[in-house]
Amino acid sequence: MPREQTLLERIAAREQSAGRRFEATATEDLDAMMDSVRTHLGRLLNARQGMSEAQPDYGLPALADLTIGVGDYVKRVRDAIQTAIEKYEPRLRRARVTLLTDEDEQRKLAFRVDAVLVSRSGEHRVWYETSLAGDGQFDVRS
């Protein structure tokens, strides 16, 4: 069973397999690990702080809270994303979040996350793009 998956992903896979035995593997599936990180980033960015009793600061602050006060809204969203990734995605190191320009002129808030994915085989440069949809949900792509 690949170690690139989270515990919950492994449990779900075991339930779907209906009793099949998983063979131990010494190889690493980098694509599976990147996909697992992408899935977790989607969960992390769509969670709002205060939703988890175990980790009250897991996720992002309510987006409406980021508009309060003076200053740059986009910078506060970018900083919140960076802080959440640094704290809750240990497989990524040296994450850098940058604003993407809106080439389609659709007024979409989109960011690119450049980071180093740390695995058993070494460090790998990766990137993910995330955009905020009209319903307030982040979509994460790699």
| Measured distance CA(41)–CA(96) in Å, rounded | 14
Higher pLDDT, 42 or 133: 42
SS3 137: coil
pLDDT of residue 73 exceeding 70, the answer is yes
* pLDDT recorded at residue 30: 87
Query: What's the chain's Rg over C-alpha atoms?
Result: 17
What are the residue boundaries of the structural domains of the chain, listed by start? 28-141
Whether the model clears a pTM of 0.85, i.e. scores above it, the answer is no
pLDDT per residue as tens digits for the range 20-35: 655 555 567 888 899 9
- For residue 109, list its beta bridge partners: 132
pLDDT of residue 103 exceeding 80, the answer is no
Average pLDDT of span 90-119: 86
| Measured distance CA(32)–CA(20) in Å, rounded | 20
* pLDDT recorded at residue 5: 73
| Measured distance CA(49)–CA(57) in Å, rounded | 5
What six digits make up the tokens of 18? 């209906």
DSSP string, 65-83: HHTSSSS-HHHHHHHHHHH
Per-residue confidence at 14, pLDDT binned at 50, 70, 90?
confident
**Cβ–Cβ under 8 Å, residues 37 and 92:** yes
Would you give the DSSP letter of residue 105?
Answer: -
* pLDDT recorded at residue 66: 62
Average pLDDT of span 5-24: 70
Average pLDDT of span 41-56: 93
Percentage with pLDDT > 90 across the chain = 47
The class of domain 28-141 in CATH terms is alpha beta
